[in-house]
């Protein structure tokens, strides 16, 4: 039994000992039934939020008005949510109001897909009023109740269907697929951060290409930032295994798409990764192997090599071999980055008896290249000797002399 269930069962038993019901619920039950890895466990109960706070010593209020309290057991956080029903969704994303209930089935009825509308008690018996296990057996994604109603309530569920199709390699039931297309335009109402989270998981799934075909078939991509600027043929042409690689490749193929990237509100890390991939693709044919190895970390080199291998139209006859050579060369480089140079700006200012300025970067860049190309040892005395021989400084002006 997964340790999260073992720890979470402490919460279930505590709830029962106080006269309440408690169940594991949602994706963790699905994944338990499928034998998949489990990263978090959610719990549902008929105890009200204030009851949960009273029963457990360590709690965090993360959404009390919607019934959710985090309970910490052995320093592990569990979301514990009161059974609830929901009102209308006027913003296509969140219910206008929730009503707490004592009925587990009513709580499960509000969930998105039948495979996620299952609960499991402390004895690991599954409660499945909407035939979620049958859907799993059929490898089918189908909504709880009418698909049009579920997607009309919460538009993010439309994208979640595509994400689950990729993660689980499931098909989408015909009525569910029709409703996805019918309500696709409501994705415009979803916060872009939530869409990016679903897309990130989609591309990391087992079948992102199948999910992309589903998205194009149901027109989801036409209502997502950035992707609404990519035609279906270009969208389906790429074969990648991460959202950042998809974005980088689409921009590489159509540079004008770079203007649409800010609409996705990506993290600085992801934007940097995309920028590095684009820079590598631009440099790969003209830069030396050593410069490629020095300029990019192993992650960028490897992901770009994978991208080219999976998209043969990117290969021009030697790009893969150049990237592989760069990866092989990298461990033997004399320096890993400029911080390892045995000379700094202060030493240069002292040597020339000069004030700081842009000239320092010019000199250090020249030294860096000499070291990288193997013409200069990374030794302080030898670097100073090279500077004396090759650098002329006068009133802030620098000239690098070739000898």
The last residue of a domain, from among 194, 224, 254: 224
Residue 353: predicted pLDDT: 87
How far is residue 281 CA from its own chain's centroid? 22
Tell whether 74 and 134 lie within a shared domain. yes
Examine the pLDDT at 86 and tell me if it is beyond 70.
Answer: no
Residue 143 lies in a domain: yes
Q: Is residue 132 domain-shared with residue 144, that is, in the same domain? A: no
Task: Check whether residue 125 and residue 29 sit in a common domain.
Answer: yes
- pTM of the predicted protein model: 0.88
The CATH number of the domain holding residue 16 is: 3.30.460.10
Q: So what's the pLDDT on residue 54?
A: 96
Identify which of 396, 323, 337, 401 has the alpha carbon closest to the alpha carbon of residue 366. 401
The confidence score (pLDDT) of residue 237 equals 97
Task: Give the range of the structural domain holding residue 286, as residue numbers without chain letter.
Answer: 238-333
Domain boundary among 138, 168, 203: 138
Q: What is d(CA 334, CA 378) in angstroms, rounded to the nearest whole number?
A: 7
Residue 12: per-residue pLDDT: 97
Does 229 reside within a domain? Answer: no
| 54-67: average pLDDT | 92
**166 plus 86 within the same structural domain:** no
pLDDT surpassing 50 at residue 87? no
Same domain, 134 and 76: yes
Same domain, 31 and 67: yes
Domain end residue (candidates: 138, 159, 194): 138
Does one domain contain both 216 and 260? no
Q: What pLDDT score does 85 carry?
A: 85
Where does the pLDDT of residue 48 fall: very low under 50, low under 70, confident under 90, or very high at 90 and above? very high
Mean pLDDT of 295-316: 96
**Domains in the chain, number:** 4
Q: Are residues 197 and 261 in the same domain?
A: no
Q: List Cα–Cα distances, 191 to 32, 154, 186, 195, in angstroms.
A: 30, 12, 11, 7
Whether 233 is covered by a domain: the verdict is no
Considering the domain boundaries, does residue 230 fall inside one?
Answer: no
Share of the chain above pLDDT 90, in %: 88
Torsion of CA 227, 232, 233, 239, to 10 degrees: 50
Distance from C-alpha of 15 to C-alpha of 382, rounded to nearest angstrom: 73
pLDDT at 249: 98
Domain at 191, CATH number: 1.10.110.30
Q: Does the pLDDT of residue 93 top 80, yes or no?
A: no
Which residue blocks in 204-344 are alpha helix, DSSP H?
Answer: 208-218, 232-237, 243-253, 268-283, 289-295, 298-310, 319-329
């Amino acid at each position: 039994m997964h340790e999260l269930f073992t720890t979470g069962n402490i919460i279930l038993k505590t709830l029962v000992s106080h006269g309440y019901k408690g169940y594991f619920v949602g994706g963790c039950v699905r994944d338990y039934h499928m034998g998949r890895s489990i990263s978090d466990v959610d719990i549902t109960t008929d105890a009200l939020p204030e009851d949960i706070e009273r029963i457990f010593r360590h709690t965090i209020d993360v959404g009390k008005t919607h019934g959710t309290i985090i309970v910490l057991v052995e320093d592990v956080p569990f979301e514990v949510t009161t059974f609830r029903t929901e009102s209308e969704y006027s913003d296509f994303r969140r219910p206008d109001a929730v009503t707490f209930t004592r009925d587990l089935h009513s709580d499960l009825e509000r969930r998105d897909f039948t495979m996620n509308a299952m609960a499991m008690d402390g004895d690991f018996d599954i409660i499945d009023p909407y035939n979620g296990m049958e859907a799993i057996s059929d490898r089918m994604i189908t909504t709880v109740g009418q698909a049009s109603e579920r997607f009309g309530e919460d538009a993010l569920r439309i994208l979640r269907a595509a994400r689950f199709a990729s993660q689980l390699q499931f098909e989408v039931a015909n009525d569910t697929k029709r409703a996805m297309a019918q309500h696709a335009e409501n994705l415009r109402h979803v916060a872009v951060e939530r869409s990016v989270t679903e897309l990130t998981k989609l591309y990391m799934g087992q079948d992102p290409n199948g999910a992309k075909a589903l998205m194009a078939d149901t027109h989801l991509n036409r209502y997502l930032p950035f992707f609404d600027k990519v035609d279906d043929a270009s969208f389906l042409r790429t074969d990648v295994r991460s959202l950042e690689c998809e974005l980088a490749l689409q921009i590489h193929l159509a540079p004008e798409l770079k203007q649409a990237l800010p609409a996705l509100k990506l993290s600085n890390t992801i934007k940097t990764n995309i920028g590095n991939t684009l820079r590598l693709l631009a440099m790969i044919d003209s830069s030396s192997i050593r410069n490629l190895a020095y300029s990019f970390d192993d992650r960028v080199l490897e992901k770009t090599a994978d991208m080219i291998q999976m998209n043969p139209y990117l290969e021009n006859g030697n790009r893969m071999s150049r990237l592989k050579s760069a990866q092989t060369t990298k461990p033997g480089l004399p320096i890993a980055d400029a911080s390892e140079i045995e000379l700094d700006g202060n030493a240069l200012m002292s040597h020339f008896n000069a004030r700081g300025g842009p000239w320092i970067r010019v000199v250090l860049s020249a030294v860096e290249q000499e070291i990288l190309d193997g013409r200069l040892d990374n030794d302080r005395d030898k670097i100073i000797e090279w500077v004396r021989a090759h650098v002329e400084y006068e009133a802030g002006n620098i000239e690098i002399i070739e000898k």
